[in-house]
Amino acid sequence: MRLIVARCSVDYTGRLAAHLPMAKRLIMCKGDGSVLIHSDGGSYKPLNWMTPPCTIQEDDEVWTVTSKKSGDRLTIRIEEIFEDVTHDLGVDPGLQKDGVEAHLQKLLAADTTPLGDGWSLVRREYPTAIGPVDLMCRDDGGAHVAVEIKRRGEIDGVEQLTRYLELLNRDPLLRPVTGVFAAQIIKPQARVLAEDRGIRCVVLDYDDMRGAEDENQPRLF
């Protein structure tokens, strides 16, 4: 990962247009090819970014980051660099879910009925270049569905699933891939964002799912 602290301006052109005026910011170039622009406050989210696959051309004081898929362009004009360091972070072991989330995933993998009748499991922890999808399933029509599972469903979980869907739908053997955001509690803002992006929300009843699991256990009498 390369981290550059610089005074810069940023312009995004393509499906939308956005401008960040000259200011001191953090430019993050990740090993997966993504480029993110951060400020020191306001939110954990980047101010602007470009997802992989993309090309980066550094020409004197102007960086041009171009999406290979859409042709969208991020133009970074650098006035002064304060820090420029590169670190090898190695292989990340991935997010370790808490006990409830891990158990919800296990329960849904064993019985996909809460997601939809006639659904089947393809794989748990379906691998992608940006991390594993909790569940990859097929719906009753045979189409692929990526399922993100949370104990508490918030906006960051919807954003995470959105990134997975963007990547998965580049694969001609999988697409079209739709998404399901499943959680015990889904915040209203997260539901609005998910539905706006065509992602279906499913509220999970953990106690009922655990009860069904217990009923399926073999008994002596």
The pLDDT tens digits of the residues spanning 123-137 come to: 999 998 888 999 999
Q: Give the mean pLDDT of 145-151.
A: 94
Number of H helices, E strands in the chain: 4, 12
Predicted pLDDT at 130: 86
Q: Give the mean pLDDT of 6-19.
A: 92
* Entry pTM: 0.56
Contact of 146 with 165, CB cutoff 8 Å: yes
According to CATH, the topology of domain 99-215 is Trna Endonuclease; Chain: A, domain 1 (3.40.1350)
Domain ranges across the chain: 2-86, 99-215
Predicted pLDDT at 94: 64
Confirm or reject CATH 2.70.180.20 for domain 2-86, answering yes or no: yes
Report cis status (omega within 30 of 0) of the bond before 176: yes
Q: How confident is the model at residue 39 (pLDDT cuts 50, 70, 90)?
A: very high
The pLDDT tens digits of the residues spanning 57-75 come to: 998 799 999 998 889 999 9
2-86 against 99-215: fold identical: no
Handedness of CA 124, 190, 185, 143 (dihedral sign): negative
